[in-house]
Amino acid sequence: MDVRRQQILLSRRIALFAGVAAPMVYVATVAFGAAQRPGYSHVSNAISELVEAGQGAGLQPFFLTYNVLVIIFAFALCADPGCPNRRLDIGAFMLGFGGALGLLMAFFPMDPRGSPATFPGLVHLVIAGAMSISSMACLLCFALGWRTQADSKARSIGTLASLAVVFVSGALAAFLAANGSPLMGLFERVTIGAYLIWMLAVAVDTLRRPGSTQHLN
C-alpha cells in the first residue's frame, strides 16, 4: 500500500469520529439550550424554537458545529474506490446534503409562535422539509447498499428499522404541528433521536470492524 493510500485511509478513519461526536454535540446543545430557557418543554416545543428569530443566537455555533461534523462523517462513509457501491455513495451524499441544509438553516430562523409569517420563517419550513426527505433518502440508500453485502446484513436491518421510526414519527410530528398538539415536540425528538442513534451506531460499528480503514463501506 503506497503512502498516499495510507494517508487517505487514515484521514477517513479519523473522520469517522465525527459520526460519534455529532450526535453528542446535538443532544448537549438541545439540553443546554432548553435549560437556559424558562418554560421550554421537550414535549411540546420544537427544537428550532431554541434558535428562533430573536432567540438563542448563542446556540447557533454549536448547531453549526454539529452540521459540519455530519458533513465530515458523510465523507468518511463514501464507498471505497476499490469496492464501489453507488447506493452507499448516494446515501453518503444525502447525509452530507442534510448537513449542508442544516448550515443554511442558520440564516433562516423559525418564526416565533403566534407571530406573522416572514420570508426567513417560510424558508425555514422548506429547508426543514428538505432535511426530512434527505434523512429518509440517506437511510434508504444505506439500507439497500448494505443489504447486498454479506457482512452488513445486520446494518441493513437496523437501518431499515431506523427509517421506519423516522418515517412514522416524522409524519406524526408534522401532523401534530399542523394541528397545534402539545405532543409535537416529543415526536420530533423521537424522529431526530432515531437518526442520531443510527449515526452513532454506524460510526462506532465501522470503527470497531477489522480493516475498516480499507473498506469503509
What pLDDT, on a 0 to 100 scale, did the predictor assign at position 83?
55
Domain presence at residue 90? yes
What pLDDT, on a 0 to 100 scale, did the predictor assign at position 216?
42
Domain presence at residue 215? no
Domain presence at residue 213? no
Compute the average pLDDT of residues 119-128. Answer: 94
Phi/psi zone of residue 149: left (φ > 0), alpha (ψ -120 to 50 degrees), beta?
beta
Compute the average pLDDT of residues 17-26. Answer: 96
Domain presence at residue 202? yes
Domain presence at residue 14? yes
Domain presence at residue 191? yes
Per-residue confidence at 14, pLDDT binned at 50, 70, 90? confident
Can you give the pTM of this predicted structure?
Answer: 0.89
Domain presence at residue 57? yes
Which residue matches cell numbers 447486498? 148
Compute the average pLDDT of residues 7-32. Answer: 90
Q: Exposed e or buried b for every residue in 122-135, given b needs 16+ CB within 10 A?
A: eebeebbeebbebb
Alpha-helical runs (H) found in 118-183? 119-147, 153-178
Which residue matches cell numbers 448550515? 103
Domain presence at residue 216? no
Q: Name residue 44's amino acid.
A: S
What pLDDT, on a 0 to 100 scale, did the predictor assign at position 84?
64
How far are the Cα atoms of 59, 80, 119, 121 from residue 116, in angstroms, in the given order? 24, 49, 10, 9
CA atoms in the 13 A half-sphere facing the CB of 24: 9
Q: Which domain does 29 fall in, by range?
A: 3-208
What pLDDT, on a 0 to 100 scale, did the predictor assign at position 151?
81
What pLDDT, on a 0 to 100 scale, did the predictor assign at position 214?
43
Per-residue confidence at 210, pLDDT binned at 50, 70, 90? low
Phi/psi zone of residue 205: left (φ > 0), alpha (ψ -120 to 50 degrees), beta?
alpha
Residue of higher predicted confidence among 151 and 159: 159
Q: What percent of the chain has pLDDT over 90?
A: 68
| Percent of residues in the chain assigned helix, strand, coil, to nearest 5 | 75, 0, 25
In angstroms, rounded to a whole number, what is the distance separating the alpha carbons of residues 51 and 174? Answer: 19
Compute the average pLDDT of residues 122-141. Answer: 96
Compute the average pLDDT of residues 23-40. Answer: 94
Residue of higher predicted confidence among 52 and 43: 43
Report the number of distinct structural domains present in the chain: 1
Give 25-51 as a DSSP string.
HHHHHHHHHHHTSTT--TTTS-GGGGG
pLDDT of 212 over the 60 cut: no
Q: What is the pLDDT of residues 63-98, one digit of tens each?
A: 999 999 999 999 988 855 555 688 999 999 999 999
